[in-house]
Structure 1
Protein backbone atom coordinates (compact mmCIF):
# COMPACT_ATOMS: atom_id res chain seq x y z
CA UNK A 1 0.00 0.00 0.00
CA UNK A 2 1.43 3.36 -1.04
CA UNK A 3 2.02 5.76 1.83
CA UNK A 4 0.92 9.40 1.42
CA UNK A 5 3.83 11.83 0.87
CA UNK A 6 2.83 13.80 3.96
CA UNK A 7 1.33 12.52 7.21
CA UNK A 8 -2.41 13.05 7.42
CA UNK A 9 -3.54 15.57 10.04
CA UNK A 10 -6.47 14.54 12.20
CA UNK A 11 -9.42 16.98 12.22
CA UNK A 12 -8.73 17.71 15.88
CA UNK A 13 -5.81 18.48 18.15
CA UNK A 14 -3.74 15.82 19.86
CA UNK A 15 -1.53 15.98 22.96
CA UNK A 16 1.51 15.98 20.65
CA UNK A 17 0.06 18.65 18.37
CA UNK A 18 -2.59 20.68 20.19
CA UNK A 19 -4.57 23.07 18.04
CA UNK A 20 -5.76 26.60 18.59
CA UNK A 21 -8.58 28.13 16.50
CA UNK A 22 -9.00 31.90 16.31
CA UNK A 23 -10.75 34.56 14.25
CA UNK A 24 -8.93 37.61 12.98
CA UNK A 25 -10.85 40.81 12.27
CA UNK A 26 -10.02 44.19 10.79
CA UNK A 27 -12.03 47.38 10.33
CA UNK A 28 -10.89 50.34 8.24
CA UNK A 29 -12.60 53.68 7.64
CA UNK A 30 -11.47 55.37 4.44
CA UNK A 31 -12.61 58.05 2.02
CA UNK A 32 -14.70 56.86 -0.96
CA UNK A 33 -13.13 56.56 -4.39
CA UNK A 34 -16.21 56.97 -6.58
CA UNK A 35 -19.73 58.36 -6.39
CA UNK A 36 -22.64 56.97 -8.40
CA UNK A 37 -25.67 58.96 -9.46
CA UNK A 38 -28.79 57.85 -11.29
CA UNK A 39 -30.41 60.12 -13.88
CA UNK A 40 -33.94 59.48 -15.17
CA UNK A 41 -35.30 61.54 -18.06
CA UNK A 42 -39.02 61.35 -18.81
CA UNK A 43 -41.51 62.47 -21.43
CA UNK A 44 -45.29 62.42 -21.71
CA UNK A 45 -47.68 63.29 -24.51
CA UNK A 46 -50.79 62.27 -26.41
CA UNK A 47 -48.85 61.47 -29.57
CA UNK A 48 -46.45 58.53 -29.49
CA UNK A 49 -43.93 59.95 -31.97
CA UNK A 50 -43.86 63.35 -30.29
CA UNK A 51 -43.31 61.70 -26.90
CA UNK A 52 -40.46 59.63 -28.31
CA UNK A 53 -38.87 62.71 -29.90
CA UNK A 54 -39.08 64.63 -26.62
CA UNK A 55 -37.55 61.71 -24.74
CA UNK A 56 -34.72 61.40 -27.26
CA UNK A 57 -33.96 65.11 -27.04
CA UNK A 58 -33.89 65.13 -23.24
CA UNK A 59 -31.78 61.99 -23.11
CA UNK A 60 -29.28 63.56 -25.50
CA UNK A 61 -29.14 66.73 -23.40
CA UNK A 62 -28.42 64.74 -20.24
CA UNK A 63 -25.72 62.64 -21.92
CA UNK A 64 -24.07 65.69 -23.46
CA UNK A 65 -23.95 67.39 -20.07
CA UNK A 66 -22.43 64.33 -18.43
CA UNK A 67 -19.82 63.94 -21.17
CA UNK A 68 -18.87 67.60 -20.92
CA UNK A 69 -17.23 66.84 -17.56
CA UNK A 70 -14.59 64.70 -19.26
CA UNK A 71 -12.51 62.39 -17.09
CA UNK A 72 -14.46 63.34 -13.96
CA UNK A 73 -17.16 60.92 -15.22
CA UNK A 74 -15.24 57.67 -15.55
CA UNK A 75 -18.19 55.37 -16.28
CA UNK A 76 -21.43 56.18 -18.08
CA UNK A 77 -24.09 53.68 -19.07
CA UNK A 78 -27.74 53.66 -20.13
CA UNK A 79 -30.06 51.28 -18.31
CA UNK A 80 -33.76 50.78 -18.86
CA UNK A 81 -35.76 52.48 -21.62
CA UNK A 82 -39.56 52.43 -21.56
CA UNK A 83 -42.34 53.89 -23.72
CA UNK A 84 -45.75 52.88 -22.40
CA UNK A 85 -49.25 53.80 -23.64
CA UNK A 86 -51.84 54.80 -21.02
CA UNK A 87 -55.33 53.57 -21.90
CA UNK A 88 -58.62 55.20 -21.03
CA UNK A 89 -60.39 53.64 -18.03
CA UNK A 90 -63.97 54.13 -19.19
CA UNK A 91 -65.92 53.05 -22.22
CA UNK A 92 -66.17 49.82 -24.13
CA UNK A 93 -63.38 50.51 -26.57
CA UNK A 94 -59.83 50.82 -25.36
CA UNK A 95 -58.22 54.08 -26.45
CA UNK A 96 -54.74 55.42 -25.89
CA UNK A 97 -54.97 58.45 -23.65
CA UNK A 98 -51.27 59.33 -23.52
CA UNK A 99 -47.77 57.91 -23.77
CA UNK A 100 -45.15 57.81 -20.99
CA UNK A 101 -41.47 57.39 -21.73
CA UNK A 102 -38.34 57.21 -19.59
CA UNK A 103 -34.63 56.47 -19.87
CA UNK A 104 -32.38 55.69 -16.90
CA UNK A 105 -28.68 56.62 -16.93
CA UNK A 106 -26.03 55.71 -14.37
CA UNK A 107 -22.83 57.71 -13.99
CA UNK A 108 -19.76 57.13 -11.83
CA UNK A 109 -17.64 60.13 -10.86
CA UNK A 110 -14.17 60.28 -9.37
CA UNK A 111 -14.05 64.07 -8.99
CA UNK A 112 -16.20 65.00 -6.01
CA UNK A 113 -15.64 68.74 -6.48
CA UNK A 114 -17.62 68.53 -9.74
CA UNK A 115 -20.32 66.28 -8.31
CA UNK A 116 -22.49 68.95 -6.67
CA UNK A 117 -22.46 71.21 -9.71
CA UNK A 118 -23.20 68.38 -12.12
CA UNK A 119 -26.03 67.02 -9.97
CA UNK A 120 -27.86 70.32 -9.82
CA UNK A 121 -27.33 71.07 -13.50
CA UNK A 122 -28.79 67.67 -14.37
CA UNK A 123 -31.73 68.18 -12.03
CA UNK A 124 -32.41 71.54 -13.66
CA UNK A 125 -32.94 69.92 -17.05
CA UNK A 126 -36.48 69.47 -18.31
CA UNK A 127 -38.35 66.55 -16.67
CA UNK A 128 -35.14 65.03 -15.34
CA UNK A 129 -34.68 63.31 -11.98
CA UNK A 130 -31.37 62.73 -10.18
CA UNK A 131 -30.85 60.10 -7.47
CA UNK A 132 -27.78 59.59 -5.32
CA UNK A 133 -24.98 59.90 -4.65
CA UNK A 134 -23.98 56.42 -3.60
CA UNK A 135 -20.42 56.57 -2.31
CA UNK A 136 -18.26 53.50 -2.83
CA UNK A 137 -14.81 52.01 -3.29
CA UNK A 138 -13.77 50.40 -6.53
CA UNK A 139 -14.02 46.58 -6.53
CA UNK A 140 -10.25 46.32 -7.04
CA UNK A 141 -9.39 48.94 -4.43
CA UNK A 142 -6.21 48.10 -2.47
CA UNK A 143 -8.14 48.92 0.70
CA UNK A 144 -9.84 45.52 0.55
CA UNK A 145 -6.50 43.71 0.38
CA UNK A 146 -5.17 45.81 3.25
CA UNK A 147 -8.16 44.88 5.42
CA UNK A 148 -7.64 41.19 4.70
CA UNK A 149 -3.93 41.48 5.49
CA UNK A 150 -4.68 43.09 8.84
CA UNK A 151 -7.25 40.42 9.64
CA UNK A 152 -4.65 37.70 9.06
CA UNK A 153 -2.14 39.56 11.23
CA UNK A 154 -4.76 39.83 13.98
CA UNK A 155 -5.40 36.08 13.79
CA UNK A 156 -1.70 35.29 14.13
CA UNK A 157 -1.31 37.73 17.03
CA UNK A 158 -4.31 36.28 18.85
CA UNK A 159 -3.19 32.67 18.37
CA UNK A 160 0.33 33.54 19.51
CA UNK A 161 -1.09 35.15 22.65
CA UNK A 162 -2.97 31.94 23.49
CA UNK A 163 0.18 29.89 22.97
CA UNK A 164 2.25 32.24 25.13
CA UNK A 165 -0.38 32.02 27.87
CA UNK A 166 0.37 28.29 27.96
CA UNK A 167 4.10 28.87 27.92
CA UNK A 168 4.62 27.49 24.44
CA UNK A 169 4.90 28.60 20.79
CA UNK A 170 2.92 28.19 17.59
CA UNK A 171 4.19 25.38 15.43
CA UNK A 172 2.34 25.45 12.08
CA UNK A 173 -0.62 26.92 10.25
CA UNK A 174 -3.27 24.27 9.62
CA UNK A 175 -6.10 26.24 8.01
CA UNK A 176 -6.94 29.76 6.88
CA UNK A 177 -10.46 30.47 5.59
CA UNK A 178 -13.04 33.19 5.17
CA UNK A 179 -16.05 32.75 7.49
CA UNK A 180 -18.84 31.01 5.55
CA UNK A 181 -16.61 30.44 2.53
CA UNK A 182 -18.69 27.43 1.46
CA UNK A 183 -21.95 29.40 1.17
CA UNK A 184 -20.96 33.01 0.78
CA UNK A 185 -23.79 35.43 0.01
CA UNK A 186 -23.46 38.01 -2.78
CA UNK A 187 -22.54 41.52 -1.85
CA UNK A 188 -25.30 44.08 -1.64
CA UNK A 189 -25.29 47.58 -3.04
CA UNK A 190 -22.77 49.95 -1.60
CA UNK A 191 -24.04 52.05 1.34
CA UNK A 192 -24.22 55.79 1.07
CA UNK A 193 -26.27 58.90 1.36
CA UNK A 194 -28.98 59.53 -1.19
CA UNK A 195 -30.49 62.62 -2.72
CA UNK A 196 -33.30 63.07 -5.21
CA UNK A 197 -34.14 65.98 -7.48
CA UNK A 198 -36.70 66.36 -10.22
CA UNK A 199 -36.35 69.05 -12.83
CA UNK A 200 -39.56 70.45 -14.28
CA UNK A 201 -38.08 72.97 -16.72
CA UNK A 202 -34.85 73.89 -18.41
CA UNK A 203 -32.54 76.63 -17.16
CA UNK A 204 -29.23 78.21 -17.99
CA UNK A 205 -26.24 76.49 -16.29
CA UNK A 206 -25.43 79.63 -14.29
CA UNK A 207 -28.92 79.62 -12.77
CA UNK A 208 -28.51 76.21 -11.12
CA UNK A 209 -27.27 76.24 -7.51
CA UNK A 210 -24.23 74.20 -6.58
CA UNK A 211 -24.67 71.58 -3.87
CA UNK A 212 -21.95 71.10 -1.29
CA UNK A 213 -21.86 67.30 -0.97
CA UNK A 214 -19.68 65.82 1.77
CA UNK A 215 -18.29 62.36 0.84
CA UNK A 216 -19.37 59.62 3.21
CA UNK A 217 -16.46 57.63 4.62
CA UNK A 218 -16.55 53.93 3.82
CA UNK A 219 -16.24 51.14 6.36
CA UNK A 220 -14.31 48.12 5.12
CA UNK A 221 -14.29 44.97 7.25
CA UNK A 222 -12.49 41.65 6.90
CA UNK A 223 -12.67 38.44 8.89
CA UNK A 224 -10.66 35.24 8.70
CA UNK A 225 -10.73 31.96 10.58
CA UNK A 226 -7.37 30.38 11.33
CA UNK A 227 -6.21 27.18 12.99
CA UNK A 228 -2.68 26.54 14.19
CA UNK A 229 -0.85 23.71 15.90
CA UNK A 230 1.21 24.45 19.01
CA UNK A 231 4.17 22.81 20.54
CA UNK A 232 3.01 20.69 23.49
CA UNK A 233 2.92 22.92 26.57
CA UNK A 234 4.22 21.82 29.97
CA UNK A 235 1.08 21.97 32.12
Structure 2
Protein backbone atom coordinates (compact mmCIF):
# COMPACT_ATOMS: atom_id res chain seq x y z
CA UNK A 1 0.00 0.00 0.00
CA UNK A 2 2.83 2.37 0.79
CA UNK A 3 4.40 1.79 -2.64
CA UNK A 4 1.11 2.73 -4.33
CA UNK A 5 -0.29 5.41 -2.03
CA UNK A 6 2.74 6.61 -0.05
CA UNK A 7 2.95 9.85 -2.07
CA UNK A 8 -0.40 10.91 -0.61
CA UNK A 9 0.78 10.64 3.01
CA UNK A 10 0.75 13.82 5.07
CA UNK A 11 4.00 14.31 7.06
CA UNK A 12 3.52 15.52 10.61
CA UNK A 13 -0.18 14.64 10.72
CA UNK A 14 -0.28 14.52 14.53
CA UNK A 15 1.29 17.99 14.68
CA UNK A 16 -1.33 19.28 12.23
CA UNK A 17 -4.11 17.87 14.40
CA UNK A 18 -2.54 19.51 17.44
CA UNK A 19 -2.43 22.87 15.65
CA UNK A 20 -6.06 22.58 14.60
CA UNK A 21 -7.01 21.67 18.16
CA UNK A 22 -5.28 24.81 19.42
CA UNK A 23 -7.13 26.91 16.83
CA UNK A 24 -10.48 25.36 17.83
CA UNK A 25 -9.65 25.96 21.49
CA UNK A 26 -9.19 29.68 20.78
CA UNK A 27 -12.44 29.71 18.81
CA UNK A 28 -14.32 28.04 21.65
CA UNK A 29 -13.07 30.68 24.07
CA UNK A 30 -14.81 33.27 21.88
CA UNK A 31 -17.91 31.20 21.15
CA UNK A 32 -18.34 28.16 23.44
CA UNK A 33 -21.57 27.03 21.76
CA UNK A 34 -19.66 26.39 18.52
CA UNK A 35 -18.63 23.01 19.91
CA UNK A 36 -22.08 21.63 19.09
CA UNK A 37 -21.38 22.23 15.39
CA UNK A 38 -18.22 20.11 15.59
CA UNK A 39 -19.51 17.05 17.47
CA UNK A 40 -20.19 13.79 15.65
CA UNK A 41 -23.97 13.46 15.99
CA UNK A 42 -25.20 10.63 13.71
CA UNK A 43 -28.78 11.98 13.16
CA UNK A 44 -27.38 15.29 11.89
CA UNK A 45 -24.82 13.51 9.72
CA UNK A 46 -27.59 11.51 8.05
CA UNK A 47 -29.34 14.84 7.39
CA UNK A 48 -26.35 16.07 5.41
CA UNK A 49 -23.95 17.66 7.92
CA UNK A 50 -21.10 15.46 6.75
CA UNK A 51 -18.36 17.77 8.06
CA UNK A 52 -19.05 16.30 11.50
CA UNK A 53 -17.32 13.09 10.35
CA UNK A 54 -14.02 15.02 10.60
CA UNK A 55 -14.50 18.02 12.88
CA UNK A 56 -15.01 15.96 16.05
CA UNK A 57 -11.29 15.16 15.93
CA UNK A 58 -10.44 18.85 16.40
CA UNK A 59 -12.36 19.25 19.66
CA UNK A 60 -9.72 19.88 22.39
CA UNK A 61 -9.62 17.80 25.54
CA UNK A 62 -9.47 20.83 27.83
CA UNK A 63 -11.69 23.87 27.32
CA UNK A 64 -10.75 26.12 30.23
CA UNK A 65 -7.12 25.67 31.27
CA UNK A 66 -4.71 27.20 28.72
CA UNK A 67 -1.71 25.55 30.41
CA UNK A 68 -3.09 22.06 29.77
CA UNK A 69 -3.73 23.02 26.17
CA UNK A 70 -0.15 24.23 25.71
CA UNK A 71 1.23 21.05 27.29
CA UNK A 72 -1.02 18.85 25.14
CA UNK A 73 0.00 20.60 21.92
CA UNK A 74 3.69 20.50 22.85
CA UNK A 75 3.49 16.80 23.66
CA UNK A 76 1.63 16.01 20.43
CA UNK A 77 4.37 17.80 18.49
CA UNK A 78 6.90 15.45 20.08
CA UNK A 79 4.75 12.42 19.30
CA UNK A 80 4.38 13.55 15.69
CA UNK A 81 8.12 13.71 15.03
CA UNK A 82 8.90 10.42 16.78
CA UNK A 83 6.12 8.45 15.06
CA UNK A 84 7.04 9.79 11.63
CA UNK A 85 10.65 8.73 12.17
CA UNK A 86 9.75 5.33 13.61
CA UNK A 87 6.94 4.39 11.23
CA UNK A 88 7.14 6.83 8.37
CA UNK A 89 4.44 9.29 7.37
CA UNK A 90 2.32 6.74 5.47
CA UNK A 91 2.01 4.21 8.27
CA UNK A 92 1.36 6.96 10.82
CA UNK A 93 -1.39 8.33 8.56
CA UNK A 94 -2.84 4.86 8.13
CA UNK A 95 -2.93 4.33 11.88
CA UNK A 96 -4.63 7.66 12.60
CA UNK A 97 -7.16 7.46 9.75
CA UNK A 98 -7.85 3.84 10.67
CA UNK A 99 -8.62 4.91 14.23
CA UNK A 100 -10.89 7.70 12.98
CA UNK A 101 -12.72 5.33 10.65
CA UNK A 102 -13.19 2.79 13.41
CA UNK A 103 -14.68 5.38 15.75
CA UNK A 104 -16.91 6.81 13.01
CA UNK A 105 -18.29 3.34 12.30
CA UNK A 106 -18.83 2.85 16.01
CA UNK A 107 -20.77 6.11 16.24
CA UNK A 108 -22.80 5.83 13.04
CA UNK A 109 -23.63 2.12 13.22
CA UNK A 110 -23.50 1.18 16.89
CA UNK A 111 -24.33 4.50 18.54
CA UNK A 112 -20.97 4.81 20.31
CA UNK A 113 -19.62 8.19 21.35
CA UNK A 114 -16.89 9.64 19.12
CA UNK A 115 -14.47 11.32 21.51
CA UNK A 116 -11.27 12.89 20.31
CA UNK A 117 -9.69 12.08 23.66
CA UNK A 118 -10.04 8.34 22.96
CA UNK A 119 -8.41 8.69 19.54
CA UNK A 120 -5.46 10.59 20.99
CA UNK A 121 -5.15 7.99 23.76
CA UNK A 122 -4.69 5.27 21.13
CA UNK A 123 -2.07 7.43 19.38
CA UNK A 124 -0.27 8.01 22.67
CA UNK A 125 -0.23 4.30 23.59
CA UNK A 126 1.11 3.46 20.11
CA UNK A 127 3.84 6.06 20.68
CA UNK A 128 4.71 4.40 24.03
CA UNK A 129 4.98 0.99 22.34
CA UNK A 130 7.19 2.31 19.56
CA UNK A 131 9.68 4.08 21.85
CA UNK A 132 9.06 2.74 25.39
CA UNK A 133 12.29 4.14 26.80
CA UNK A 134 11.83 7.64 25.39
CA UNK A 135 12.08 10.17 28.22
CA UNK A 136 9.98 13.28 28.52
CA UNK A 137 10.02 16.02 31.10
CA UNK A 138 6.74 15.63 32.93
CA UNK A 139 5.44 19.12 33.75
CA UNK A 140 8.79 20.30 32.29
CA UNK A 141 10.48 19.11 35.53
CA UNK A 142 10.43 15.34 36.12
CA UNK A 143 12.07 12.98 33.56
CA UNK A 144 9.82 9.96 32.98
CA UNK A 145 10.00 7.13 30.45
CA UNK A 146 6.88 7.07 28.33
CA UNK A 147 6.28 3.35 28.88
CA UNK A 148 5.23 4.10 32.45
CA UNK A 149 2.84 6.80 31.30
CA UNK A 150 1.48 4.36 28.74
CA UNK A 151 0.86 1.78 31.47
CA UNK A 152 -1.00 4.35 33.54
CA UNK A 153 -3.08 5.41 30.55
CA UNK A 154 -3.86 1.79 29.69
CA UNK A 155 -4.87 1.04 33.28
CA UNK A 156 -7.21 4.05 33.32
CA UNK A 157 -8.84 2.95 30.06
CA UNK A 158 -9.27 -0.57 31.40
CA UNK A 159 -10.92 0.68 34.59
CA UNK A 160 -13.22 2.92 32.56
CA UNK A 161 -14.08 0.04 30.26
CA UNK A 162 -15.03 -2.16 33.23
CA UNK A 163 -16.85 0.42 35.31
CA UNK A 164 -18.66 2.56 32.72
CA UNK A 165 -21.00 1.05 30.13
CA UNK A 166 -21.08 4.37 28.21
CA UNK A 167 -17.29 4.32 27.74
CA UNK A 168 -17.01 0.74 26.51
CA UNK A 169 -17.92 1.63 22.95
CA UNK A 170 -15.54 4.60 22.60
CA UNK A 171 -12.67 2.70 24.21
CA UNK A 172 -13.21 -0.42 22.11
CA UNK A 173 -13.48 1.38 18.76
CA UNK A 174 -10.61 3.76 19.57
CA UNK A 175 -8.27 0.89 20.50
CA UNK A 176 -9.28 -1.35 17.61
CA UNK A 177 -6.61 0.13 15.35
CA UNK A 178 -4.04 -0.40 18.12
CA UNK A 179 -5.00 -4.09 18.40
CA UNK A 180 -4.72 -4.50 14.63
CA UNK A 181 -1.36 -2.72 14.46
CA UNK A 182 0.32 -4.22 17.53
CA UNK A 183 -1.68 -7.38 18.33
CA UNK A 184 0.12 -9.73 15.89
CA UNK A 185 3.49 -8.47 17.13
CA UNK A 186 2.53 -9.05 20.76
CA UNK A 187 1.32 -12.60 19.99
CA UNK A 188 4.50 -13.36 18.04
CA UNK A 189 6.62 -11.97 20.88
CA UNK A 190 4.81 -14.10 23.47
CA UNK A 191 5.25 -17.24 21.34
CA UNK A 192 8.93 -16.42 20.88
CA UNK A 193 9.39 -15.98 24.63
CA UNK A 194 7.66 -19.32 25.27
CA UNK A 195 9.96 -21.07 22.77
CA UNK A 196 13.04 -19.44 24.31
CA UNK A 197 11.93 -20.46 27.81
CA UNK A 198 11.36 -24.05 26.67
CA UNK A 199 14.78 -24.21 24.99
CA UNK A 200 16.44 -22.75 28.08
CA UNK A 201 14.69 -25.32 30.27
CA UNK A 202 15.83 -28.19 28.03
CA UNK A 203 19.36 -26.81 27.97
CA UNK A 204 19.49 -26.51 31.76
CA UNK A 205 18.07 -30.03 32.18
CA UNK A 206 20.68 -31.41 29.79
CA UNK A 207 23.43 -29.64 31.71
CA UNK A 208 22.15 -31.07 34.98
CA UNK A 209 22.12 -34.59 33.53
CA UNK A 210 25.65 -34.18 32.22
CA UNK A 211 26.99 -32.86 35.56
CA UNK A 212 29.29 -35.44 37.24
CA UNK A 213 27.83 -36.97 40.39
CA UNK A 214 29.30 -39.07 43.16
CA UNK A 215 26.15 -40.78 44.49
CA UNK A 216 23.12 -42.10 42.58
CA UNK A 217 20.07 -43.87 43.94
CA UNK A 218 19.57 -47.29 42.35
CA UNK A 219 15.76 -47.03 42.65
CA UNK A 220 14.69 -43.43 41.84
CA UNK A 221 17.80 -42.31 39.95
CA UNK A 222 18.35 -39.13 41.97
CA UNK A 223 21.93 -38.00 42.54
CA UNK A 224 23.68 -35.81 45.04
CA UNK A 225 23.68 -33.11 42.30
CA UNK A 226 19.87 -33.19 42.05
CA UNK A 227 19.43 -32.81 45.80
CA UNK A 228 22.54 -32.10 47.92
CA UNK A 229 20.54 -32.81 51.10
CA UNK A 230 19.90 -36.45 50.25
CA UNK A 231 21.91 -39.06 52.19
CA UNK A 232 23.06 -42.13 50.24
CA UNK A 233 23.92 -45.57 51.70
CA UNK A 234 24.97 -48.89 50.21
CA UNK A 235 22.70 -51.73 51.40
CA UNK A 236 23.27 -55.47 51.64
CA UNK A 237 22.47 -56.05 47.95
CA UNK A 238 25.45 -53.88 47.03
CA UNK A 239 23.37 -51.05 45.53
CA UNK A 240 23.25 -47.45 46.65
CA UNK A 241 19.95 -45.94 47.81
CA UNK A 242 18.89 -42.46 48.94
CA UNK A 243 17.27 -41.72 52.29
CA UNK A 244 13.81 -41.73 50.67
CA UNK A 245 14.08 -45.05 48.85
CA UNK A 246 16.20 -46.94 51.40
CA UNK A 247 13.39 -47.57 53.92
CA UNK A 248 11.15 -48.92 51.16
CA UNK A 249 13.93 -51.07 49.79
CA UNK A 250 14.66 -52.48 53.24
CA UNK A 251 11.01 -53.27 53.89
CA UNK A 252 10.54 -55.06 50.54
CA UNK A 253 10.15 -58.87 50.88
CA UNK A 254 13.16 -60.98 50.00
CA UNK A 255 12.45 -63.70 47.40
- With structure 2 as the length reference, what TM-score do the two structures score? 0.25
State the structure with bigger RCO (CA 8 A, min sep 6), 1 or 2: 1
Higher normalized strand content (fraction of residues): 1
- With structure 1 as the length reference, what TM-score do the two structures score? 0.26
